[in-house]
Amino acid sequence: TQQLLSGRALRPKPFRVTNADRGVKKGIMAETLEDLMNKVSFSLTLECVSALVLDEDGTGVDTEEFFQTLPENTVLMVLEKGQKWTPHPNSPSRYQHIE
């Protein structure tokens, strides 16, 4: 990962990380995906984080490269073993946007 990112100036960005039932959400600063994963476990007191997905549509954030494209304050959901992303209960699908 370090080789991959060398030459690129990294700076910590703010993210908002929620748990699978959206009962808790924390603001966390992180420079890299690994950094965020470590901080998430600590901040949300989780033992075994299995995946990090976009809260918006459940897209899995597995690679450092994709992680680096996320804008500041992206809302991420952390999943533990056996947990799955579910859409927001009160959100219409993206095809039903009311503007």
Closest approach of a copy of itself to the CB of residue 90, in Å:
6
Identity of residue 55: D
Nearer to a copy of itself, 27 or 34 (CB): 27
Distance CA 62, CA 9 (A): 21
Nearer to a copy of itself, 45 or 47 (CB): 45
Token pair recorded at residue 28: 């966390």
Interface with a copy of itself by CB under 8 A: which residues? 12, 14, 16, 24-29, 43, 53-54, 57-63, 65-67, 69, 72, 75, 88, 90-99
- 15 neighbors 76 (Cβ within 8 angstroms): yes
CB atoms within 10 A of CB 29: 13
Nearer to a copy of itself, 3 or 69 (CB): 69
